[in-house]
A = this chain, B = another copy of it.
C-alpha cells in the first residue's frame, strides 16, 4: 500500500526510521538527532515533526524496527541447527553480529526510557523477539523458571560480548567480529550445558 507519491517522498516516515537506525549504528543511541535524520533524508528540520511529535517518538519507531530486524536475524540463524544447544549458540552469534552492526540490541528494544509497555507496536515487537528464544530455552531446561534464568544468562553474555567489543575491550584480545560471535556462542554452549544439569 504505497502512499500517493505526493511529495519528495512516498514514505518519509519509513525513510526517517531508516536514517535513525543508520545514525544509531554510526554514533550510538544517545547521538540520535532528529535534525540529522532529516538532513540525511533530504528534508527540512521541521519535516519529521509531521510524523513524530518528539525525538523520543522517532527513537521508539527505530526501536520497533530494530526489534523486527533482530527477530528476523535470530530466526534465520536457527535454520539448520541440529539441537537446542546449537540453536542457542547460533542465536548468540547472530545477536552479537546484530548489535555490532546496529550498535543496539535488547538495550534499545527494552529501554525503560522508551516505556516499551506503553507503546503497543514496540511492546509487541519485543515480545516477538523473546518468542524466538523462549522455546529453545524451554526445550533445554524443561521448566519455565529455569528457562527464563538460562535465557537471561544467555542474553546477558551475548550482549556483553557485543558491547564490550564495540567499546574496545574485547577487541584487544580478539580483533574480528567472527571471533567475538564465536566467543559468545561458546559462552552460551557452556551456559546451556550447566542449565541441563551437567
Contacts and interface: CB of A to CB of B under 8 A. Distances in A.
A8 interface: no
A107 B156 contact: no
Given A112-B171, A156-B161, A168-B112, A190 B194 contact: yes
Nearest to A31: B30
Contact of A164 (B30, B107, B186, B198): B107
Interface string A142-181: 0000001100110111111101100111111110000000
A125 to B, nearest CB: 14
A52 interface: no
A60 to B, nearest CB: 14
19 contacts: A107-B167, A110-B167, A112-B168, A113-B168, A116-B168, A152-B161, A152-B170, A152-B174, A153-B157, A155-B160, A156-B157, A156-B170, A158-B160, A159-B163, A160-B161, A160-B163, A189-B194, A190-B190, A198-B198
Given A116-B168, A157-B157, A159-B160, 8 more contacts: A30-B31, A107-B169, A110-B172, A111-B168, A155-B169, A156-B170, A163-B163, A193-B194
